[in-house]
Amino acid sequence: MHAIDAAALTRTYGDNTVVDGVDLRVPAGQVHALLGPNGSGKTTTVRMLATLLRPTSGRAAIRGFDTVTHAEDAKRQLGLVGQFHAVDPRLTGRQNLVMLARLNGFRATAARRHAGELLDRFELAEAADRVVRTYSGGMRRRLDIVAGMIVRPAVLFLDEPTTALDPHSRNEIYRYVRDFVAEGTTVLLTTQYLDEAQRLADAITILEAGRVVAAGTPAQILAAVPAGLDLIVDDADRYAEIAAVLATFGGVPSDSLPAPHLSPMELSFTFTGDAPGLLPVLRALDAADITVRDIGTRATTLDDAFLALTGRDRVAAGARKEVRA
């Protein structure tokens, strides 16, 4: 049984389809990152999975509980940390957590004890009795996450948890996420930071215009985008010959034909598989009497993959395709 299991999940508003047939399966005890540009349907997908929004069609289940027909059971399995601060800024950190614990069925003494333990764990004990409006952005975000963990959920949704945080605060959030997973919690993470997904996620799903355009491990996502090679040559009038040499290695120009008067000329090629070794390429160019000033391979990053797979990178526009694990 998957911790999260969604099939053909769809949400429309009139004629506007915001989420269009999303399939998402997350095994227990993993971090799954949900990526996509603004307006791609990430937050709407999370809201449907969290029982906050009813799907127009399709189905979703949290640990086997259908989010529509068994919504209350599904809710008991999950915690949600949204994009915006969910705590009351007029109360202290401790008062917020005690109130939430009481609302979740804790007796008064147990609620105070539990709140204190969480404040200690998340390094908020010194600020526990200050009103939240005096907290820094990083402290408030940590308190948000604590609030989502008042009752330890089996599944935790983190919707862009580190937006606008400084690097130190982001690293603290990463540490907490790893701790949660080590203790058995499944995490669904939406984020705008691609390095964040690469550091934390066991698997990634990329949405574009409400549809899944890629799904798999970070390595599988990266492998879907052609590797690259950049070189600088002096022979500006021999572009066609250079392209022909690179074509024997599976290389295709990444950009349009450069202006013939440019010298030296910077060229970029992508490859259907791994970029070839530099030595064989240099030997082939030398055999064609083409002098190379500089040459280097260009490693594919998750940023490259994201831009290519969502169709937002002119260089890799031809690389867009659906990727499945």
In tens, the pLDDT along 115-137 reads 999 999 888 999 999 999 999 98
Residue 112 falls inside a structural domain:
yes
Same-domain pairing of 73 and 141: yes
Q: What is the mean pLDDT of residues 181-203?
A: 90
Has residue 322 been placed in a domain? no
| Closest alpha carbon to 265 in 287, 235, 289 | 235
Same-domain check for residues 210 and 90: yes
For the ranges 10-19, 90-99, 150-159, 270-279, which has the lowest average pLDDT? 270-279
Kindly tell me if the per-residue pLDDT of 209 is higher than 70. yes
Domain end position, chosen among 222, 257, 272: 222
Could you tell me whether strands 227-233 and 65-66 are parallel, antiparallel, or unpaired per DSSP bridges?
A: unpaired
Sign of the C-alpha dihedral computed for residues 225, 227, 229 and 230 taken in this order: positive
Same domain? For 100 and 88 the reply is yes
Look up the CATH number of the domain holding residue 136: 3.40.50.300
Question: What's the pLDDT at 25?
Answer: 96
Looking at 193, 222, 251, the residue that finishes a domain is 222
Let me know whether 134 and 254 are in one domain.
no
In-domain check, residue 46: yes
Q: Report which of 265, 233, 264 is spatially closest to residue 256, judged by C-alpha positions.
A: 265
In a domain, 118, yes or no: yes
Query: Are 193 and 61 in the same domain?
Result: yes
pLDDT digits (tens, 9 = 90+) for 141-170: 889 888 888 888 999 999 888 877 788 888
Crossing angle for the helix pair 167-182 and 137-148, to the nearest 10 degrees? 20
Question: At 51, phi and psi to the nearest 5?
Answer: 70, 10
Look at the chain and report how many structural domains it folds into.
Answer: 2
Q: Are residues 137 and 246 in the same domain?
A: no
In a domain, 204, yes or no: yes
Residues 6+ apart with CB under 8 A from 69: none
Clarify whether residues 121 and 29 are in a common domain. Answer: yes
pLDDT at 239: 83
Q: Is there a single domain that holds both residue 101 and residue 179?
A: yes
Q: Is 256 in the same domain as 144?
A: no
Report which of 70, 65, 57 is spatially closest to residue 21, judged by C-alpha positions.
57
Residue 30 has what pLDDT?
95
In this structure, what CATH number is given to the domain that contains residue 271? 3.30.70.260
> Is residue 213 located within the same domain as residue 233?
no
Element (H, E) at 263: none
Quickly count: other Cβ atoms within 10 Å of residue 12's Cβ.
14
Q: How many CA atoms lie within 13 A of 127 on its CB side?
A: 18
The reply to whether 177 and 245 lie within a common domain is no
Which of residues 154, 187, 222 is at a domain's end?
A: 222
> pLDDT band at residue 83, thresholds of 50, 70 and 90?
confident
Of 13-27, 38-52, 279-293, which gets the smallest average pLDDT? Answer: 279-293
User: What CA–CA distance (Å, rounded) separates 243 from 221?
Assistant: 27
Q: Is residue 286 part of a domain?
A: yes
Contact 2, 150 (CB under 8 A): no
pLDDT above 70: residue 321: no
- Say whether pTM exceeds 0.85: no
Cβ neighbours around 185 below 10 Å, total: 22
Q: What is the Cα–Cα distance from 196 to 176, expressed in whole angstroms?
A: 13
| Residue 306 covered by a domain | no
Look up residue 48 and give its two tokens: 């449907």
CA distances from 101 to 112, 115, 249, 252 (A): 8, 8, 62, 59
- Same domain for 195 and 241? no
The first and second tokens of residue 94, run together, are 């401790």
Angle between the N-to-C axes of helices 239-247 and 278-287, in degrees from 0 to 180, rounded to the nearest 10: 130
- Domain membership of residue 197 (yes or no) is yes
Contacts of 322 (CB under 8 A, 6+ apart): 212, 213, 214
Domain around 248: 226-299
